[in-house]
Structure 1
Amino acid sequence: MRRSSAAVLLGCGALFGLSYVLVRDVVPVAGPVGVTVARTFIGGAALLLAARAAGQRPQWRRWRAYLVLGALSAAVPFSLISISMLSLNAGTAAVLNASSPLFALGFDVLERRRRPDTGQLVGLVLAIAGVSVAMAARGLHISDGGAVGVLAGLAGAAVFAYGGFFAARRFDGEAPAALAAGQQLAGCTLLCPALLVFPFHATPTASLLLRLVVLGVAGSAVAYLLFYRLIAIEGPARAANVNLLVPMFGVLWGWALLDEPIPPLSIAGMAATAAGVLLVLRHRPAAG
C-alpha cells in the first residue's frame, strides 16, 4: 500500500473510531434510527456543499443505485451497529465490527475466483486477535438480548463490507465527495420514514445536537470521503481493513476524551493489531 493510502487509511480509522465513542454516547437518548438519520443528513449535507464547491455533483440520474448504496453503506450497517450497542458495550461491538475485513476477503475470493494469500490470512487473524485482546482487557459485556446484539453487529460488518464492492462496481470513476454525498443522503432518505415508528427517545437538547453534528461531520462526512477515496485507489477489499483500526482508535479516543485508562493488556492487543494490519497491507493481491 502506498504511503499516501496508508495515511488515508489511518485518518479514516481515526474518524470511524471517534464515531463509535459518539454513538455509544447518544444512542440511548436518540435511538438507533434517530442517530442514523441525523448523522447521514448532517454528513450528506456537508459533503454536498463540499462537492459543489469543488465543482462536483452526484449523478442523481442513477438514484436507484444510490439508494442501494445508501442502504448497504449507511442505513443498514449504521442501524445494525446502533442496535448492537443497545445490548453490547462499545468494546464488544468494536470486536464484531473488526470482522468486516474477513467478510470483504470472502467477497473478494468469490469475485476473483482465487484463494486468499496465506500472509493476508495470517495478518487478518493476528489483527482480529489483537482487537479481541485489546477490548477484552477493557471488559467485554453482553446484557440481556445479547444474541440479537451479536447478530446485528456481525450483519452490520458484512453489509458494510459488501457496500464497498458495490460502490467500486457501480460508481467507478465518480469523485469521492460526490459519491459520499449521494450515499449519505440516500441512506437518510431511506430511513426517514422509520422515524414515524421509532422516534427520538427524548427531546433533543443543544448538547445532543452538538454531538450529532460532530458525529455527522467527522464520522460520516469526512470519514466516508476518505473511505471512498481509499476504495478508488486500493480497491474495496483493502479499504475494508480500516475496520481493524477502528477499535484501536476507539480506545485512544476514550482515553483522550473521556479519561478512560488504557490497561497494559490493551496496549499489547493494539500492538498485535498494528502488526497484523501491516502484514495485510504488505500483501500484494494477485491480478484478477
Structure 2
Amino acid sequence: MRPVDLFRLFVLAAIWGGSFLFMRVTVPVLGAVPTAFGRVALAAAGLLVLVSIMRVRWNFNGLFKQTVFLGLINSGIPFLMFAFAAQVLPAGYSAILNATVPLMAIVIGSTFFGERVGGIKLAGVALGLAGVAILTGAGPLALTPVVLAGVGACLIATACYGFAGFLTRRWITQRGGLDSRLVALGSQTGAVFFMGACLVWQLVTTPVAMPVVNANVWLALLALGLVCTSFAYILYFQLLSDIGPMKAMMVTFLIPVFGVLWGWLLLDEKLSLAHAIGGGLVAVAIWLVAKPERPRITA
C-alpha cells in the first residue's frame, strides 16, 4: 500500500470515527429516519455543488443505474440501521460492531465472489477485532431485546458494507471505472430516493410534531451529511478503486481509534493502558491485512 493510500485511509477513519458521535447528538432529537434522510440529502447536495464547481464531466458511461443501486446498499440501508442503533447503543458499541465489516467482507467475498483469503489476513482480522474491543473499553450492556435489536441493526449495516465493496469493483471498476466523485454522487442519489420513501412512509403512518432543535443538532447533522458522507465517500470510492475492497475496508479497524481520540479531546474522556494495547493490536492488524501476499508457486 502506498503512503498516500495509507494517509487517505487514516483521514477517512478520522472522519467516520466522528460520525457515531454526531448520530448520538442528532438521533435522540430528530429520530432515526429523519437523521438518515437529512444525512444523505445533505451529502447529495454537497456532492452536486462540488461536482459543478470542479467542472467534472457528467458522463456516467452507462453506469448511472449501478451507482444508484449501489447507494441503497452502501449508504441508504447502513445509515438507517446505524441511526436506529444510535437510539439504544452508545457510540463505542456501534464503533465496535462497525469493525466487523472486514470479517463480513471475508465471508461474503469467499462465499459469493470467489475471493481467496489466506491465513495471514484471517489472523489480521482476528487481531483487529480484538484490538477494537479492548480499545473502546465500553462497559457491558444488559442483553435486552432492545439492545439486541440495536446490535442486529449494526450487523445488517456491516453486511451491506461488505457486499458494497465487492459490488463496486464488479459494477464500476471492472467495467472501465468511473470518477469517484460521480460514483459518490450517484450512490447518494440512490440513497436519497430510498430514505425519502422511508420518510414519507413514517410521516403518513406515524405523524409527529416537529421537535425543538438547537444549533448543535443542526451543526451535527451538517457534519454528518457534508463531511462524514459527501467528502468521505469521495475518499472511500477512490480507495476502493486504488487498493481494492479488502484493504479499503480496513478503515473500520481505525474508526474506533479515532472515536476514542475524539472522546478524549472533546468530551474529556480518560485514556488507559487498554487504549495502548488495543491501538497496538489495531496497528499489527492493519499491517497484516495490507501486507502483499506471496504469489503461489506452481509446478
Q: TM-score, normalised by structure 1?
A: 0.91
Q: Could you list the runs of 5+ residues in structure 2 that have no partner in the other structure?
A: none
In 1, Cα distance between equivalents of 2:191 and 2:213: 21
Tell me if structure 2 keeps the 8 A contact 1:98–1:128.
yes
Tell me if structure 2 keeps the 8 A contact 1:87–1:142.
no
Give the alignment of 1:132-151 within 5 angstroms.
Answer: 132-135=133-136, 137-142=137-142, 144=144, 145-151=146-152
Question: What secondary structure does 2:89 align onto?
Answer: coil
1:183 aligned partner: 187
* Pair 1:118 & 2:112 matched: no
Query: Residue by residue, what CA displacement relative to the aligned partner does 1:25-51 show, whole Å, maximum 9, x if unpaired?
Result: 211111111111111111121112222
1:74 aligned partner: 75
In 1, Cα distance between equivalents of 2:279 and 2:13: 13
Q: How many residue pairs align between the two structures?
A: 286
Structure with higher Rg: it is: 2
Change (3 A) 1:169 1:90: same
1:152 aligned partner: 153
Query: Residue by residue, what CA displacement relative to the aligned partner does 1:228-277 show, whole Å, maximum 9, x if unpaired?
Result: 01001011121111111111111111112222222221232122112211
Q: TM-score, normalised by structure 2?
A: 0.88
What's the CA shift for 1:114?
A: 5.3
Letter in 1 for 2:246: A
Q: Could you list the runs of 5+ residues in structure 1 that have no partner in the other structure?
A: none
Deviates more, 1:62-71 or 1:194-203: 194-203
Tell me if structure 2 keeps the 8 A contact 1:87–1:143.
no
What's the CA shift for 1:143?
A: 6.4
What's the CA shift for 1:63?
A: 4.5
Match of 1:259 among 268, 272, 280: 268
1:92 aligned partner: 93
1:174 aligned partner: 178
Tell me if structure 2 keeps the 8 A contact 1:43–1:216.
yes
Tell me if structure 1 keeps the 8 A contact 2:181–2:234.
yes
Letter in 2 for 1:103: M
Give % identity: 28
1:9 aligned partner: 9
Change (3 A) 1:149 1:59: same
What's the CA shift for 1:191?
A: 0.8
* Pair 1:193 & 2:197 matched: yes
In 2, Cα distance between equivalents of 1:250 and 1:285: 34
2:43 aligned partner: 43
Tell me if structure 2 keeps the 8 A contact 1:120–1:283.
no
In 2, Cα distance between equivalents of 1:24 and 1:283: 38
Give the alignment of 1:231-250 within 5 angstroms.
Answer: 231-250=240-259
Match of 2:278 among 269, 281, 285: 269
Tell me how large the CA RMSD over aligned residues is. 2.1
Letter in 1 for 2:187: Q
